[in-house]
Amino acid sequence: GDSVTQMEGPVTLSEEAFLTINCTYTATGYPSLFWYVQYPGEGLQLLLKATKADDKGSNKGFEATYRKETTSFHLEKGSVQVSDSAVYFCALTQGGGGNKLTFGTGTQLKVEL
Amino acid sequence: GAVVSQHPSRVICKSGTSVKIECRSLDFQATTMFWYRQFPKQSLMLMATSNEGSKATYEQGVEKDKFLINHASLTLSTLTVTSAHPEDSSFYICSAETSGRAFFTDTQYFGPGTRLTVL
């Protein structure tokens, strides 16, 4: 079955540092890939998505590129802020709608001053 | 856009009682709604998928009679935890998917979650 593997956290960075959170996947066909962010005590918010190979999703300074050759969708940000502290989930779904999301285990990011 | 609400945000109940959680899509019609459960510091576990007007499809290991899901309209789904016990205490999150052109299709939009504590 489909699966998503994320780097374990917590990841602790200083403000303005460069962020990379690794995500790799195993799936049949051509899944859509997502990054969701969860702030403490809240539900998940869609951060960005990509639906086909070489697509780059970007939002709020975050970006991730759908790499089919390495089955990866690593999340990056050039300069993190304290407000970016949250848990980040990588996920995939098989296309067509109505299909469940397969989540990674989540990576907690802590950004300190 | 693509706002999903949940009510209540927090509920505390006694063991043996039933609790209903509502999930609403506020600015779009949800073709499919999903219910997840999340344990502390863990990922989300899909419980069931529901389409408006039809029975929910439950994931393996999820008790249908304990977690009743009703998707009566294109903007409302409810999860009822029947005869709740302390082990049902968890964070329950719903999501909704739409085929509407104003939003991403093939993308789930999540509610803020409901914290259930069973004493």
Convert the pLDDT of each residue in B53-102 to its tens digit.
888 999 999 999 999 999 888 899 999 999 999 999 999 999 998 865 55
Report the amino acid identity of residue A81. Answer: Q
pLDDT 10s digits, B20-61 = 999 999 988 888 899 999 888 788 889 999 988 888 999 999
Chain A positions in Cβ-Cβ contact with residue B95 (cut-off 8 Å): 44, 101
Report B:15-54 residues touching A (Cβ under 8 A).
31-32, 34, 41-44, 46, 49, 51
Is the CB of residue B117 less than 8 Å away from at least one CB of chain A? no
CB contact under 8 A, B104 and A45: no
Please tell me the predicted confidence (pLDDT) of residue B105: 61
- Give the pLDDT band (50/70/90) at residue A74: very high
Q: What was the pLDDT predicted at B100?
A: 59
Please tell me which residue of chain A has the smallest CA distance to B42: A105
CA nearest to A23, candidates A3, A44, A46: A3
Q: Does the pLDDT value for residue B104 go beyond 70?
A: no
Mean of the pLDDT values across residues A30-39?
92
Residue A96 is predicted with a pLDDT of 61
Nearest by CB to A93, from B6, B99, B106: name it.
B106
pLDDT of residue B75: 92
For residues B48 and B35, the answer to whether their CB atoms sit within 8 Å is yes
> For chain B, give me the number of helices (H) and strands (E)?
0, 11
Contact state of A43 with B113 under an 8 Å Cβ cutoff:
yes
B30 vs A26, more confident:
A26
Q: Calculate how close chain A gets to B109, using CA atoms only, in Å.
A: 7
Task: Indicate if the pLDDT at residue A14 is higher than 80.
Answer: yes
Mean pLDDT, chain A, integer: 92
- What pLDDT shows up at residue B31? 82
Report pLDDT digits (tens) over B1-23: 688 999 999 999 999 999 999 99
Residue ranges of B 64-103 with Cβ closer than 8 A to chain A: 93, 95, 97, 99
What is residue B106's predicted lDDT score, i.e. its pLDDT?
Answer: 67
Which segments of B15-82 are extended strands (E)?
Answer: 19-25, 32-38, 44-51, 57-58, 67-73, 76-81
With beta carbons less than 8 A apart as the criterion, state whether B9 and B53 touch. no
